[in-house]
Amino acid sequence: MEDIEKLADPAAGSISQTTKAATPPSDRAEIVFAGGCFWCVEAVFEELDGVIDAVSGYAGGTRETANYRDVCSGKTGHAEAVRIIYEPSKIAYEDLLRVHFATHDPTQLNRQGNDVGPQYRSAIFYANDQEKALAEAIIDDLREQKVFSRPIVTTIEPLTEFYPAEAYHQNYVCANPGQSYVRAVALPKVEKVRKLFKDRLKETSPLEQSAK
């Protein structure tokens, strides 16, 4: 049985002050995560205060194969990924990592639910050694806290390039709240982040704004 509520408590298994201090302050930063369908990941992070934008795309492969048709083959090396642009003064890298692990299953290898293939793998793409160290530290914390009953299989991969996905994939959940996959898979993840991270949410949900 998973105990993901621990992820909402920054005091539980929090990354050491020494590790966190290595991250320089900045008005704007980026991180790339993968955790199944990028529609879901994008919608989750758009809910958070301090997140300026979340962009669906591809990471892990080459420019030539960075398109939905090729990536769906599972043979490109790409993962469906999301680039999260955020304000570190409002939300920390550690908080984003905790949200990520709370809103997908990092124990499923090359899949999330019925979405199967390496393009749906759980991954953190790091841009520098500091990000890599933070990602490794939080995974170690989750293992020590035994948050998940099965082994974490999330990969930590160097970010060579991020390629934005086709326009119709962007803000897909907000644009298509009644679509069957969105209702069955994406919206429950959004509800999970709203429940677990109430103090981290924007005043108005992007889903509510899009419905106006």
Q: Tell me the pLDDT tens digit for each residue of 105-115.
A: 999 999 999 99
72 is catalytic: no
Q: Give the position of tokens 């090396």.
A: 77
CATH number of 4-13+25-206: 3.30.1060.10
Q: 158 vs 75, 128, 191, CA distance in Å?
A: 19, 8, 31
Q: Where are the domains of the chain?
A: 4-13+25-206
How many other C-beta atoms can be found within 10 angstroms of the C-beta atom of residue 64?
8
Task: Output DSSP code: residue 8.
Answer: G
Statement: the pTM of the whole predicted model exceeds 0.75: yes
Cα angle 178, 207, 4 (rounded to 5 degrees) comes to 95
Share of the chain above pLDDT 70, in %: 90
The pLDDT mean for the chain works out to: 91
Which one is catalytic: 37, 40, 72, 174? 37
